[in-house]
């Protein structure tokens, strides 16, 4: 059975998680380029938070959320490529109005987002 890694922006020092919780970036074989990309992506998320009360932080502008999610998808794809068949990489989506849960397939996620977008129109 493959080990599962979840990509999820968080206030933790890493945006990668496994069954036991957050993992350090060097726990899995990733390029320095991808690690830096994930760190920058997670830094954007942390910049949206009200650190005095993170759970009640205001929503960032819609355009920023959509841009953030697009970058998350690209990072997800790169993680899948770099980790190969040894891991199942899931994504905790950040698209606005998303029923946030773990997606195991990029196509599944994009189809779900497309369905949400068509409902909003």
Q: What is the number of structural domains in the chain? A: 1
Sequence-distant contacts of 17-24: CB under 8 A, at least 24 apart: none
Categorize the per-residue pLDDT at 108 as very low, low, confident or very high, splitting at 50, 70 and 90: confident
Does residue 33 have a pLDDT over 80?
yes
Nearest to 116 by CA among 79, 71, 101, 44: 101
Does residue 97 have a pLDDT over 60?
no
Categorize the per-residue pLDDT at 59 as very low, low, confident or very high, splitting at 50, 70 and 90: confident
Mean pLDDT of 95-119: 71
Contacts of 55 (CB under 8 A, 6+ apart): none
Nearest to 31 by CA among 88, 84, 93: 84
Residue 19: C-alpha distances to residues 49, 71, 88, 90 (Å): 25, 24, 12, 12
pLDDT of residue 50: 87
């Amino acid at each position: 059975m493959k080990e599962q890694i979840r990509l999820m922006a968080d206030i933790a020092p890493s945006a990668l998680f496994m069954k036991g919780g957050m993992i350090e970036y060097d726990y899995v074989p990733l390029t320095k380029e991808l690690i830096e990309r994930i760190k920058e992506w997670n830094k954007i998320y942390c910049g949206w938070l009200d650190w005095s009360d993170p759970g009640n932080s205001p929503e960032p502008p819609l355009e920023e959320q959509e841009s953030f999610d697009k970058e998350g998808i690209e990072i997800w794809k790169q993680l899948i490529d770099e980790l190969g068949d040894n891991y199942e990489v899931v994504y905790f989506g950040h698209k606005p109005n998303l029923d946030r849960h773990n997606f195991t397939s990029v196509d599944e996620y994009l189809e779900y987002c497309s369905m949400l977008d068509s409902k909003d129109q």
